[in-house]
Structure 1
Amino acid sequence: MENFVQYTDQQLLSLLKDSSQGAYTQIYDRYHGLLYIYACKITKEESEAEDIVQDVFVYLWDKRKTIIFEKSLSAYLYSAVRYKFFDLLDHKKVRTNYSASFQNFTENFPVQADQILREKELSALIEKEIACLPDKMRNVFELSRKHHLSHREIAEILHISQKTVKNQVNNALKELRVKLSTLFTWLF
């Protein structure tokens, strides 16, 4: 097994680009402790510092073939820790803003949101039951209730008597009441 301790950062980077796990391990061993101390100083929290450092090393391995090191390895790693910290701050700010916004919404609009959801569910269930009606009855019912046509207009369109239209609408309402009565009890 090759000993990478004597290698320079530049040599380790070259080997890392060729997917050398030994070079990666040496970079980790060389910089993990220093980066952790640096991250602790800027985050003031050990667990966040450890997460940031781990994220930096995972990113380093994942992007090893495409990362361009404009400066030294150490400068890159310290900058990466700093950027991860800023990302963490941005994430916390977004989370805090979202939490405050959600809290405001639930305090000011709880009934409306629940009511809208119930109305949508109820509407979907009614539509499902209407779709289950016999074709002729469903057609007459939809012309009456959805298109707001009078019994006379429906009778003319379908070439049936007004009495038949009235019976079909009444029968549809009776069927829907029976099917939906338990649902209404549950919802209200």
Structure 2
Amino acid sequence: MDGKKKSKILESNLWRELKQGDRTAFNSIIRSHYQLLFNYGCKISKDQSLVEDCIQELFIYLWEHRDTLADVNVVRAYLIKSLRRRVINQLSTKDQKLVDRVENFAAETKGNFFSFSHEKFLIDNENNKAVQEKLKAAISNLPDRQREAIYLKYYSGLSYEEIAQVMDMEKQSVANVLRRALLSLRTLFSLFVPMVFRYLNQTQA
């Protein structure tokens, strides 16, 4: 059994124990996912306090409603999707136009809503700063939906199925979005940094 399958089984067991009122399991879920949730939330909103509040509210909700929680196959995807919804709802009171952009990734606008501070998940051991900057600029010009899918796949390590759950899409649609994004990046970088795309090709499955 590979590491990912073991991790999913462990998460499922912790979730079941949380539903039974096991605070140790609940704390383990928090420790395992907090940083992932915080990093993702900060891609949606630069207001770190807002993100932290939404994460706290999410975990409070889980504990207070543990008796009625549904069974979850992939805990991290469930948590990311729940946080996404909470952050969007909070932003709706501040900037409706921003929320409209978040909820309409399918429009594939070229704004800077879903941004990246680092692209090490794509360039791995590439030390050329010029390459890093060019790749970062190329990713920032991708449509919102493509940027989010790339972040979830290559930074957060989610599978196609998990990304589909987070973004409310079909699994095949996720594959299509990622394929278009990688094709756009390859057009710019296939000759310049072939190592990047050897890495991408190995991690698309």
Q: Shorter-normalised TM-score: what interval?
A: 0.3 to 0.5
Higher relative contact order (CA 8 A, sep 6+): 2
Give 1 or 2 for the bigger CA radius of gyration.
Answer: 1
Q: Which has the higher helix share?
A: 1
Q: TM-score, normalised by structure 1?
A: 0.44
Q: TM-score, normalised by structure 2?
A: 0.41
